[in-house]
Copies of this chain bind each other. A is one copy, B any other.
């Protein structure tokens, strides 16, 4: 198990040392490890997909193996993955469960993360499980419910003016002794954890034709891509789904990188979970989208609000960021061939933001 820099070639034994980015060239690192490609019968996601992940976390809180609900929308078969039914209320738990287990094994005593909210809940939850002290830096603009959840879980909440200043503020705490900067937008254990979504969908429904996910830091998009790629490398599937990312008009770094331009449109601040201005893995995200003939779609608040209401009335109690994904689907559904199987990942619980 090694941390590797694909940019400059730096590498280090990951069972001994952790760097949240390459110490030579500041690029994001990837985790390289052996896979057996074996799926075993278990209700514990980490036992079930042990053959696809680098190690099995010591603690389990019911993360993963979330429901998949199929609906016919027009001529499409749409698969809704209810990942907001994870124990911390979002898909982030999949990545966090791995990332915190790793930090614990390396002997860290405190965890640190800058987040728009959901990762804060998730990191606090799993840190406390391992007896680690969580420090959560969150923008004041984050929904009250997300802040309250962090405090109730026993996390130390530090508020920053915006998502961007949260990222700056976090460096202050990095020098404290024993601090593990979880850095979910850098840490490759997040995509590796999120990849379990692909394994679960594959077991129930094979390969979808299209996968639609929200793109903030891109950890989910990269995770789903990683998962299907791994299944292909293992010889379990022979094609990749088209991967489509959804961003808001207010914050479109991946769209800009992909198409070389920004598109003007309505504000999209309702989807607070995808307001990440400079995702460090932007190049990888663009590569994943391009290599699967995917695209990036932009949405604004009106579309998000409408999609949000529709999802609730269909019985999906999600937060607005998840609705952005559905809004993105509706925007491009006419371009998806009829009979296609489209996976929509519903990422965060709306109960937190009532």
**A contact set with B: CB distance below 8 Å:** 43, 60-63, 65-69, 82, 85-89, 125-126, 128-129, 144-145, 148-149, 152-154, 204, 312-317, 349-352, 354
Contact = CB atoms under 8 A, between A and B. Distances in A.
Contact of A149 (B145, B149, B316, B317): B317
Contact of A126 (B128, B315, B351, B354): B315
A315 B82 contact: no
A189 to B, nearest CB: 18
Given A67-B87, A87-B317, A153 B354 contact: no
A144 B349 CA distance: 17
A351 B145 contact: yes
A349 B67 CA distance: 17
Contacts of A349: 349, 351
A126 B88 CA distance: 24
Contact of A317 (B68, B88, B126, B313): B88
Contacts of A148: 354
14 contacts: A43-B68, A61-B67, A63-B67, A65-B67, A67-B87, A85-B87, A88-B317, A128-B315, A129-B314, A149-B351, A152-B354, A153-B312, A154-B313, A351-B352
Contact of A85 (B62, B154, B352): B62
B89 A82 contact: no
B145 A315 contact: no
A347 to B, nearest CB: 14
A315 B125 contact: yes
Contacts of A60: 69
Contact of A154 (B63, B149, B312): B312
Chain A to chain B: the 8 pairs with minimum beta-carbon distance, closest first: A62-B67, A351-B351, A148-B354, A61-B315, A62-B82, A145-B354, A125-B315, A351-B352
Nearest to A122: B315
A316 B62 CA distance: 10
B128 A354 contact: no
Contacts of A87: 67, 82, 85, 315-317
Contacts of A314: 128-129
Given A67-B43, A67-B87, A152 B312 contact: yes
Contacts of A69: 60-62
A153 B317 CA distance: 8
A279 to B, nearest CB: 27
A113 B354 CA distance: 22
